[in-house]
Amino acid sequence: MNRFLLPLGLFVLLAVVLAIGIRHSPEKSIIASPLIGKPAPAFALPSLTDPAHEVRSADLKGHWYLFNVWGTWCGECRAEHEMLLQVRRAGVVPIIGLDWKDNDGEAVAWLTQLGNPYQSVATDHSGRMAIDWGVYGAPETFLVSPEGVVVYKHVGALTPDTWTREILPRVSGLPAGKS
């Protein structure tokens, strides 16, 4: 074979990967979770800020909460952070964080520097819990009802649009927007 064809061959391979990447990227935000309508996976994980305590799903029953999967290694999470802080300031629904496959020290530094939007943060070093929740990639946010049922999932950074159209109406008992 002509060795001068090799670069072209490699490039074709790369183009295929990029094409697949492109086909995937718009899907990312609309992947429905098989968990919707089902009970949220139970968890009892060490708290990031206070490792002596556990964050437990059982303790969260009885009121709405957002379950936000993040990590300091995740660029998009940094972009999302300001939105989460606004949600916290709105005071409508608490956010439980799942610090996914992360370094505790860096995660604490992150929250210290950027502000802490979470009521509590559970740590998931092994990534087991994220598998149970069917996490596709950080950031992801789940809305869990007072009965402990997953009612909505958002993939990617939480947007003001999703907040006002999908989450706020559900939490305040109004009919949700287009879904």
Separation CA 36–CA 153 (nearest Å): 7
Handedness of CA 45, 48, 51, 55 (dihedral sign): negative
The nearest distance, CB 64 to another protein, in angstroms, is 24
The nearest distance, CB 154 to another protein, in angstroms, is 15
Question: What would the DSSP string read from start to end of 111-166?
Answer: HHHH----SEEEEESSSHHHHHTT--SSSEEEEE-TTSBEEEEEESS--HHHIIII
Q: Which is nearer to another protein, 94 or 134 (CB)?
A: 134
Q: Which residues pair with 141 in a beta bridge?
A: 68, 154
Q: Which is nearer to another protein, 22 or 52 (CB)?
A: 22
The nearest distance, CB 85 to another protein, in angstroms, is 8
Q: Which is nearer to another protein, 57 or 116 (CB)?
A: 116
- Residues in contact with another protein by CB under 8 A are 2, 4-5, 7-8, 11-12, 14-15, 17-22, 24-26, 71, 73-76, 78-79, 82, 85-86, 108-109, 112-116, 136-138
The nearest distance, CB 62 to another protein, in angstroms, is 28
The nearest distance, CB 174 to another protein, in angstroms, is 24
Q: Which is nearer to another protein, 81 or 170 (CB)?
A: 81
Q: Which is nearer to another protein, 1 or 174 (CB)?
A: 1
Note every long-range contact of 109-113, with CB atoms under 8 Å and residues 24 or more positions apart, other chains counting. Answer: 109/72, 110/72, 111/48, 111/49
Give the helix ranges, DSSP H, for 28-102: 75-90
